[in-house]
C-alpha cells in the first residue's frame, strides 16, 4: 500500500473545503449573534426580583451546561425533523454558548460601580433607560474580549454539526476522504484552514484585552 502523502489531493479537495468553510463561518457568525443576544437576555433576567423568573432561568442554564453539545445537537435534530439541519445547528450552538456568555455579561454588570446605579436612581431614570444608557454600555465594553474568545471556541466546535448532516468543512473533508481514500491529506488541509482562520482572531482578542485594560 502506498503511504506517501498525496499532494494532488490537497488541490483537488481545496474548493470543496472552502465551500464547507463558508457554511462553518455562517454557523459561527449566526451562532455567535444568538449567543450574544440570548446571553445578555439571560443575564438581565437573572437579576429579576421575582423567583418565578430567576429559578426557571437558572434551571434551564444548568441543564444546558450539564449536557454535552453533541447530545444537544442530536436530540434537537431528532425532535425537530422538519427543520433544516443548519438552522438547528446554529440555534443549538447559540443556546449552548448563551449559558456561558450570560455569566460573562453578569460579571460585567456586577463590575459597574454602585455609584452608577445610585446616580440613576437619584435622577429617577426608568429601569429601561438605566440599562440602555448607563449600565449595558459599560458592562458590554468590559466583556468584549471574553465574548470574542467564546466566538473562537464556537468556531472550533462547528465540526460537531457534521453529526446532523450539516455540510460544513469537516463534513466535506470526511466525504472527500471516504471517496478518494485521502483522509490524512484532506484533514490536514482542514486543520490548516481552521488554524489560519482562528489564530489571527485570537491575536486580535489579546490586543483588545490589552487595549481595554484587562
pLDDT tens, position by position, 156-184:
999 999 999 999 999 999 999 999 888 99
Does residue 83 sit within a domain? yes
pTM given for the model: 0.87
With respect to residue 191, please indicate whether it lies within any of the assigned structural domains. Answer: yes
Tens-place pLDDT, residues 108-124? 888 888 888 888 888 88
pLDDT at 15 over 80: yes
Give domain status of residue 195, yes or no: yes
Give the pLDDT confidence score for residue 29 in this predicted structure.
95
**Res 25 pLDDT > 90:** yes
Instruction: Work out the angle between the directed axes of helices 136-157 and 85-110 (0-180°, nearest 10).
Output: 140
DSSP alpha helix (H) spans, the chain: 7-45, 51-66, 69-79, 85-110, 114-122, 127-130, 136-157, 169-180, 183-211
Q: How many domains does the chain have?
A: 1
Residue 3 covered by a domain: no
Q: Is residue 7 part of a domain?
A: no
Flag whether 190 is in a domain.
Answer: yes
Residue 124 lies in a domain: yes
- Domain of 55 in residue numbering reads as 12-211
CATH number at residue 133: 1.10.3720.10
In a domain, 86, yes or no: yes
Amino acid at each position: 500500500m502506498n503511504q506517501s502523502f498525496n499532494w494532488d489531493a490537497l488541490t483537488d479537495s481545496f474548493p470543496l473545503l472552502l465551500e464547507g468553510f463558508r457554511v462553518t463561518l455562517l454557523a459561527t457568525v449566526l451562532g455567535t449573534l444568538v449567543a450574544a443576544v440570548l446571553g445578555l437576555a439571560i443575564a438581565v433576567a437573572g437579576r429579576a426580583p421575582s423567583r418565578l423568573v430567576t429559578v426557571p432561568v437558572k434551571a434551564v442554564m444548568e441543564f444546558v451546561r450539564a449536557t454535552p453539545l453533541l447530545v444537544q445537537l442530536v436530540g434537537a435534530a431528532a425532535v425537530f425533523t422538519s427543520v433544516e439541519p443548519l438552522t438547528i445547528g446554529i440555534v443549538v450552538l447559540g443556546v449552548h454558548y448563551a449559558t456561558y456568555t450570560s455569566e460573562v455579561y453578569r460579571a460585567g454588570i456586577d463590575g459597574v460601580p454602585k455609584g452608577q446605579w445610585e446616580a440613576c436612581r437619584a435622577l429617577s431614570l426608568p429601569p429601561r433607560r438605566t440599562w440602555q444608557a448607563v449600565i449595558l454600555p459599560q458592562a458590554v465594553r468590559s466583556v468584549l474580549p471574553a465574548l470574542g474568545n467564546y466566538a473562537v471556541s464556537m468556531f472550533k466546535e462547528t465540526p460537531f454539526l457534521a453529526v446532523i448532516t450539516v455540510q460544513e468543512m469537516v463534513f466535506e473533508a470526511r466525504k472527500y476522504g471516504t471517496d478518494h481514500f485521502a483522509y490524512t491529506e484532506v484533514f490536514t488541509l482542514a486543520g490548516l484552514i481552521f488554524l489560519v482562520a482562528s489564530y489571527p482572531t485570537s491575536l486580535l482578542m489579546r490586543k483588545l484585552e490589552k487595549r481595554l485594560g484587562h
